[in-house]
């Protein structure tokens, strides 16, 4: 079990930031080795606005979704241009450090977002795709609005929300299966990029599942924070201890000029399910 216990503060833009990270082993002369992850949710799609479950269906970005991706890229570029804070451990403030790898879900909405970001940052040669970062497969519920889901598949809809082990019929997945494939990908990235920074472009359900999984490992309750389109969420893996920490959740400061999506109340990213540890 992860023995770090993060505590958080809320800010005006629905962001949570870590106040206490992994226990310090500095007094013991142990060097802590971290891989830093920044997760970016894809830009807005028309189905986000309609509250339709996208799952593995390939839906493109809206015009505002592209603008959000550009705003995310500009926000990253601005952070990278800042000098590191003086006399501060870079493991605690890695935002000025370049990304050594960019990895994205292969679904169009995430891939397009990643391409926009890489074009601005000049990271095109660092971009890779991994289907393990796809949104949860929603089976028979894909493409349906909330009213349609609860009208046609009420029992399935309820079980999907309440039971993390429930496999959605029609080729779908359970939340446990989602977490397993996503964390497998992240562990591989952590092993191949020690002391480096990795940018991951994925989906609201994926990032929310990562956050709740890591919080559960740290004996923390799941957060109710919605993962907004094009928002930033940060985590880190410590190779020294084998532990994970959440650093920032749903940072949207960079979206002030383009605005965030008016999250449809039935957008699945706005509803957090029980964590699957």
- How far is residue 50's CA from residue 102's CA, in Å, rounded to a whole number? 29
Q: How buried is residue 72: exposed, middle or buried, by Cβ count under 10 Å (0-12/13-18/19+)?
A: buried
Of 230, 261, 182, give the one whose Cα is nearest residue 41. Answer: 230
Please say whether the beta carbons of 234 and 35 come within 8 A. Answer: no
Q: State the DSSP H helix or E strand holding residue 17, giving kind and residue range, or none if neither.
A: strand 16-18
Q: Which of 115, 135, 173, 273 is catalytic?
A: 135
Q: Which of 36, 42, 193, 237 is catalytic?
A: 42
Instruction: Specify whether 237 is catalytic.
Output: no
Helices (H), the chain: 46-50, 63-81, 108-121, 146-152, 154-162, 175-192, 204-217
Instruction: Specify whether 135 is catalytic.
Output: yes
Residues annotated as catalytic (active site), given as ranges: 42, 135
């Amino acid at each position: 079990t992860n023995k770090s216990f993060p505590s958080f503060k809320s800010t005006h833009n629905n962001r949570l930031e870590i106040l206490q990270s992994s226990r310090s082993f500095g007094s013991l002369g142990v060097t802590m080795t971290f891989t830093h992850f920044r997760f970016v949710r894809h830009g807005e799609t028309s189905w986000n606005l309609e509250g339709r479950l996208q799952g593995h269906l390939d839906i493109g970005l809206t015009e505002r979704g592209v603008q959000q991706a550009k705003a995310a890229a500009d926000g990253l570029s601005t952070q990278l241009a800042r000098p590191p804070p003086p006399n501060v451990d870079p493991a605690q403030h890695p935002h000025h450090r370049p990304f050594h790898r960019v990895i994205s879900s292969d679904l169009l909405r995430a891939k397009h977002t990643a391409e926009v970001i890489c074009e601005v940052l000049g990271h095109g040669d660092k971009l890779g795709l991994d289907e393990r970062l796809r949104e949860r497969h929603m089976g028979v519920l894909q493409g349906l609005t909330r009213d349609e889901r609860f009208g046609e598949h009420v029992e399935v809809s309820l079980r999907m929300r309440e039971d993390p082990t429930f496999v959605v019929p029609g080729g779908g997945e359970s939340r446990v299966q989602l977490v397993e494939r996503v964390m497998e990908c992240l562990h591989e990235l952590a092993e191949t990029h020690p002391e480096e920074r990795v940018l991951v472009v994925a989906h609201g359900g994926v990032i929310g599942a990562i956050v709740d999984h890591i919080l559960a490992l740290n004996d923390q309750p799941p957060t109710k924070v919605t993962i907004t389109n094009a928002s930033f969420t940060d985590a880190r893996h410590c190779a020294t201890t084998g532990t994970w920490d959440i650093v920032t959740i749903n940072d949207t400061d960079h979206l002030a000029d383009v605005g965030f999506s008016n999250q449809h109340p039935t957008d699945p990213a706005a509803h957090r399910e029980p964590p699957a540890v």
